[in-house]
Homo-oligomer: A and B are copies of this chain.
Amino acid sequence: MDMETENWAGTAMRPVGLIIRQKDPNNLEMPFDQLGDFITPSELFYIRSHFPTPELDPGAYRLSIGGAVRNELSLRYADIRAMPSRTCVATLECAGNSRVFLVPPEPGAQWELGAVGNAEWTGVPLFVLLEHAGLADDVCDLVLEGADRGVPKEEPKPPGPISYARSIPRTRAMEPDVLIAYQMNGQDLTPDHGYPLRAIVPGHYGMASVKWLTHIVAATQPFQGYWQTSDYGYWDDSEGTPVRRPLAEMKLKSQIARPRVYERLEPGRPYTIFGAAWAGVTDVIEIWISLDGGSSWVQGEFLDPISRHAWRRWKYDWITPAQPGRYTLLARARGADQRAQPDGHNANFGSYVIDHPLPIEVFVAAP
């Protein structure tokens, strides 16, 4: 069987572990050339940790819901497992995914393409819990806090250890697809992925899907925590003087999974370029590929239907050039809002939101 023409999807590639980007806490990415099925196997799903993984006993575990609520709740793991559940497929991308492509380099884990994955999540819709608790009328933000804790590094930084926490707006929190999840791809969460419970906020960068979730706090003012301001924030200059805002929804993005950077391809042969595209607030409706570093573009085809908040895998059947040499491939998606990925990185996002077409240099050479 011809590997080059069979490489686009569904090949029986076994999971082969992860790439270390930071050790202790573990920050590991998927070798993105291993992209296969629509659903990313759990063992290939990227691991993003701010602090050492907390070891939580499901018997002693409690999820508290407090703040501006009528009924404070303290839920056991078993309580959550006993409630009606919902399952959804959502792509999670780390806001710093593809950071290694930034020139000059930006601080932080030098993620390449693999800090993104698409999984099936099962849990209790957050709005159900919030209705039990009874939100006060003036609640605007729901703060999600995890059991992971430590001293963060970005400036300005707090004076001592803090727990990882992010908020989402009340309107988003009340939508039925936001989950307090206990399963990933039909199996209980592993410690690295947030056991026993984590939030899943489809469409948002991964930082919103707080792992090892222990506290939900209903807030009547927008939350101004460290990971909402110092880190995972950006400068919004759309109205003149730049103001600091929290990152939220994933931007439209596409990535080439195969070939991988510096892969060597035979000249004049069929090769199926294969990748995925996703977006937080629109649907991906077109995928364009450049085989010449951006001078010209051809359209690829999708392998998956539109499914809000899940990626769409795509392919393009290429005949490699007869002329040996170095070629730069790019992919650029277009959304239902008629916007395409931008030409370059927006510096207002600092070391985050690397959503421009990412160059994949390959060599065409005789074997």
A interface residues (Cβ-Cβ under 8 A, vs B):
3, 14-24, 28, 31, 33, 43, 47, 100-103, 105, 110, 112, 259-264, 362-363
Contacts and interface: CB of A to CB of B under 8 A. Distances in A.
Contact of A22 (B20, B100, B259): B100
Residue from the set A15, A100, A103 with the largest chain B CB neighbour count within 10 Å: A100
A112 B362 CA distance: 22
28 contacts: A16-B260, A16-B263, A17-B33, A17-B259, A17-B260, A17-B262, A18-B260, A18-B261, A19-B19, A19-B31, A19-B112, A20-B100, A20-B101, A20-B112, A20-B261, A21-B100, A21-B110, A22-B105, A23-B100, A23-B101, A23-B102, A23-B105, A24-B103, A28-B261, A31-B31, A43-B263, A43-B264, A47-B262
A20, A24, A261, A363: residue with the most chain B Cβ atoms closer than 10 Å: A20
Nearest to A25: B103
A301 to B, nearest CB: 23
A264 B14 CA distance: 9
A356 to B, nearest CB: 13
Q: Chain copies in the assembly?
A: 2
Q: Is the interface of A mostly helix, strand, loop or mixed?
A: loop
Contacts of A102: 23
A43 B262 contact: yes
A101 B21 CA distance: 10
Nearest to A111: B20
Nearest to A360: B17
Contacts of A21: 100, 110
A201 B260 CA distance: 31
A115 B362 CA distance: 20
A264 B262 CA distance: 27
Contacts of A22: 100, 105, 110
A117 to B, nearest CB: 13
Contacts of A263: 15-17, 43
Q: Which of A16, A23, A24 has the most CB of B within 10 A?
A: A23
Given A18-B260, A18-B261, 15 more contacts: A15-B263, A15-B264, A16-B260, A16-B263, A17-B259, A17-B261, A17-B263, A20-B101, A20-B261, A21-B110, A23-B100, A23-B101, A24-B103, A28-B261, A47-B262
